[in-house]
A = this chain, B = another copy of it.
Amino acid sequence: MQRYFIKETYEAKSEYSVAGENYHHIVRVMRMKPEDQLFLVFDNGVVILGEISSIDEQEVLIRELSKEDGDKELPVNVTIACGLPKGDKLEWIIQKGTELGGHGFIGFPAKNSIVKWDHKKRGNKVKRLEKIAQEAAEQSHRQLMPEVRLLEKEQELIDSFSTYEKVLIAYEESAKQGEQSLLAETLKTLKPGGNLLIIFGPEGGFAPEEIDVFKENGGVSCGLGPRILRAETAPLYALSAVSYQLEMLL
């Protein structure tokens, strides 16, 4: 069934009004009619199953039938920060990473990032990436829409370390050195509601001096197993590992 993300906090009402893009999709794309059902996903993660009660020129009115049960979100908020990779890899990381439960996605210019985006370009990119995240969130039945940010400077990322419970750095050299336990050790310490930042390099990987600065600011470098993962594959491994540790190992 279709899911629509509503940019408001849930509060019990007799009817909910949907306008704008969602209106267009419900009425013009899906051609829904009164009594058709859909999910509304509110900012605060509340999801209701609703039935269309009426449709006019500007808005669709929806009556709540029931709440969606079951939590679809990871028990901890995981933010994935990627040194800007080439081509459409960031789009791709955000689409798959949203399916896998990522809470936020950050692109930042790492030393080895080839792409450089000015302010205007970043603005347009973010809009496009938010659209990809929204579609993936709807398709994968998420209850929260991931936040997408593109940073002008790597330093902004480092300055944000203190806002996270843990900061992990996926570092190929750690993998080559056979470091395979820090990821699990870290995930095991996370409590529901905690937040985790995991940082990934671009194709060229991180420069040693970048790793040093990350570590000086509280980051912990870890491997993601003995195989060398591409820039776009490593974040999916990490999110899958978080899900497995916190949702499957019950």
**Chain A interfacial positions (CB closer than 8 Å to B):** 70-73, 96, 99-101, 139-142, 178, 180-181, 183-184, 225-230, 233, 236-237, 240-241, 243-245, 247-250
Contacts and interface: CB of A to CB of B under 8 A. Distances in A.
A170 to B, nearest CB: 13
Contact of A227 (B141, B227, B228, B241): B141
Contacts of A101: 225, 227
Nearest to A236: B236
B70 A140 contact: no
Contact of A100 (B71, B233, B248, B250): B233
15 contacts: A71-B226, A99-B229, A100-B233, A101-B227, A139-B230, A140-B229, A141-B227, A180-B248, A181-B250, A225-B243, A225-B244, A236-B236, A236-B237, A240-B241, A241-B241
A241 B248 CA distance: 9
A155 to B, nearest CB: 31
A195 B225 CA distance: 19
B100 A237 contact: yes
Nearest to A222: B248
